Amino acid sequence: MNGLPDVGLVGVVAGSQIVSSIGMKEIGSIESELFPPLVVLHGGVPKSPIRIYGKESLVVIIGETAIPAGAVYPIAEAIVDWASSAGAGLILSIGGMAVQNRQDIESPKVFAALSDKKLSKLLNGSAEVLGEGYIVGTYALMLKRCAEIGLPAIALLTQSYYNYPDPEAAAAAVESVNKILGLKVNTSELLRKGEEIRLRSKDVMKRTQAEMVRINKGQEYDVPPLYG
């Protein structure tokens, strides 16, 4: 499962909640000279900003810093190849789908982009299949590569703010993950601590937004052409 910084930081917030809720342990990290030269201190210990957590057959990748535009291709390829070599049965990526009238939406809807139409049966009614549209960024490349090599992949994209952290959208995404994977991750904490999460994530969101501009993330607003 991927929870990388993206629209509304939906993936990071949802992924972090899943990791802490089911008590996953840190099992590795992703390192690259393409990332900014930084570490994140947690409990006084320096850690990579992109870490891998595991428990039983579930592995979650969380990113605490914006993925630089120049690292998008290599990181997408590396994650898919690593998952494939490890025998992963499904890659589930959690992200946001920006909507301009987000303030007026009480319950954000979750959409799913699939590497293969047959995967729709895994959704268990938790998300609406995205038939047409653009996806830009790491998840887009991962989805395409998974389709090419026949590795099942789903990108769960929840209606969210574009450049504001969105814990409510993250909660909706976690509910979908619960249905797909049969987990019981509690989402009430995300809603209760919503304001704190928004304030603490402000700076990561700002840097993520700058990278989203560089990869033309705004193209996800575009209406796709008729042919296809």
Partner 1 sequence: MSKERRKSNFSDYLRRTEQIAEKTLASGWNETASSIEPLSDIILGAAEVVVTMDLPYVDPNAVQVKVIADDTIEVRAKTKHKISLNDLGVKHRKGEFNLYHAVLHMPVPVNEEGMMHKLKRGVLEIHLPRQT
How long, in residues, is the chain? 228
DSSP 14-42: HHHHHHHHTTPEEEEE---TTS-S--EEE
Binding residue (CB under 8 A) for partner 1 from 13, 205, 212, 217:
205
Output 103 or 188, the one with its CB closest to partner 1.
103
CB nearer to partner 1: give 3 or 108.
108
Q: Which stretch binds partner 1 (CB under 8 A): 89-97, 139-147, 156-164, 175-183?
A: 156-164
CA torsion 127-133-135-139 (nearest 10°) is 40
**Which of positions 52-111 make contact with partner 1 (CB under 8 A)?**
100, 102-104
- Pick the piece of the chain touching partner 1 (CB under 8 A) from 55-63, 151-159, 169-177, 204-212: 204-212
Draw the binding track, 159-188, toward partner 1 (x: CB under 8 A; -: no contact): --xxxxx--x--------------------
For residues 19 to 48, the per-residue mask of contacts with partner 1, x marking binding by CB under 8 A and - elsewhere, is ------------------------------
Residues with Cβ within 8 Å of 90's Cβ and at least 6 positions away in sequence, in order, are 122, 152, 153, 154
Are the beta carbons of 178 and 123 closer than 8 angstroms? no
Tell me whether residue 59 or residue 99 sits nearer to partner 1 (CB atom): 99
Nearer to partner 1, 51 or 198 (CB): 198
How far, in Å, CA of 120 to CA of 112, rounded? 8
Q: Kindly state the smallest distance separating residue 94's Cβ from partner 1, in Å.
A: 21
Other CB atoms within a 10 A radius of the CB of residue 115 amount to 22
Work out how close the CB of 167 gets to partner 1 at its nearest, in angstroms, rounded to a whole number.
10
Residue among 141, 133, 131 nearest 215 (CA): 141
Told to check if 132 binds partner 1 by CB under 8 A, we report no
Tokens, residue 209: 């937004």
| Residues in CB range of 138: below 8 A, 6 or more apart | 2, 4, 6, 67, 72, 75, 76, 79, 93
Binding residues for partner 1, rule: CB under 8 A, are: 100, 102-104, 161-165, 168, 194-196, 198-200, 202-203, 205-207, 209-210
